[in-house]
Structure 1
Amino acid sequence: MMFWYGHDPSGWGWVAMSVGMVSFWALLVALGVLLFRALSGSAEPRATTGPEQRGPVAEQVLAERFARGEIEEDEYRRRLTVLRSGDGPQPSKR
C-alpha cells in the first residue's frame, strides 16, 4: 500500500490535464471545420465587394442588357463610358 502513496496528480496536475484535454478537442474540432470548409467550397471564387469586382461585373451586366435588346447602342456606350471613368454611383458603406 505504501507504493501508491503520493503518486496521484496534485491540484496543478489536474489543471494541466484539463487544459490539455480541452485544447486537444478544440484543435480537433477546428481541424474538422477547416477540412469541411475546404472540401465543401465551390469551384467558383467568392465574390468580393471591392472596386475591382464592381467594374467588370457591371460591364458584363450592361453588355448582356444590350445583347438582349433592353437598351439602345447610344445608351450602352454612354453607360459604358461612365462605368469605365469611375464616375458612376458608388456602393453604400454600412
Structure 2
Amino acid sequence: MHFYDGHFGGMHLIWWIIWMVFIVWIFFVPADIPYQKSKKESPLDILKKRFAKGEISKEEFEESKKILNSDN
C-alpha cells in the first residue's frame, strides 16, 4: 500500500468497512434465513407424531383429529 502523508490510501478504509459490515451481518442477522427455514408443521402433523411415539392413545388421536378437522 502507498502512504500519503502518513495515512493509508482510501482502499484501506474501504476494506475495514467491508469487514465490519460482514462481522455485523454474521452476528445480527436473524437465524431464520428464508432459504434455511424448515417446513412448519401443521397441528395434524404434530398430532400424528405424538400418536406414532405413543404419547397419546388411539382414542385421543381420533378425538383430536376430529376437532382439528372441524376447525377447517
TM-score, reference length from structure 2: 0.45
Q: Which has the higher strand share?
A: 2
Which structure has the greater CA radius of gyration?
Answer: 1
